[in-house]
Amino acid sequence: MTDRASTLWIVLLTLASTATTLILSCATPFPALAALAAVHMRARDGVALMLATWVVSQATGFCVMGYPLSGENIGWAVALGLGAVAAALVASAGSGRIARAPLAAKLALAYVAGFVVFKLVVLVFAIGMGEVGAAFTADVLLRQFARNGAILIGLLALYHALVAMGLPRATGARPVAA
């Protein structure tokens, strides 16, 4: 049952992420997903969630939104995938270091750690491709941080609502007060 619960949550969160990707023009909320996975899933399931959402995000971008299949776009796709996996691993490690802390503290630490690492990985790729540009200005990063934070709150509410309606908790999740 526990592996089925993990698979169910990976699928549900991937679908929720796909909705935000379509609404926000391919801005998949990887840091938000990493933080949610860090407090409600095993680390390996968090990585699986990142990979699943990355694949769906890329399929959405290239097949639905018509992104051209170019070397530059493939480079960005790789950057996002590696950043997403790194965010999940660091968010999980950060959350695990304060395992006895309240959910809000674990979630906050996981979110900040996941966001910073995700952006650092993408920044390294951007520098390597000579494309740092406006995407890394303070105001853009602040807007992205706030947007991902809002999405995190929405996904957390969705998670708790679905658990309250009877869906099993994700594997590795412990019943905690929200």
Domain ranges of the chain: 2-164
121-155 pLDDT per residue, tens? 999 998 988 877 767 888 989 999 999 999 999 98
pLDDT at residue number 174: 45
**What's the whole-number mean pLDDT along residues 69-75?**
89
What percent of the chain has a predicted confidence (pLDDT) above 70?
Answer: 93
Write out the DSSP string of the chain: -HHHHHHHHHHHHHHHHHHHHHHTTS---HHHHHHHHHHHB-HHHHHHHHHHHHHHHHHIIIIIS-----HHHHHHHHHHHHHHHHHHHHHHHHHHHTTTS-HHHHHHHHHHHHHHHHHHHHHHHHHHTT--GGGGSHHHHHHHHHHHHHHHHHHHHHHHHHHHTTPPPPTB------
Say how far apart CA 24 and CA 92 lie, in whole Å. Answer: 26
**What's the whole-number mean pLDDT along residues 53-67?**
89
Residue 177 pLDDT exceeds 50: no
pLDDT at residue number 64: 86
pLDDT at residue number 2: 61
What percent of the chain has a predicted confidence (pLDDT) above 90?
Answer: 48
pLDDT at residue number 1: 43
Mean pLDDT, the chain, integer:
87
Residue 44 pLDDT exceeds 50: yes
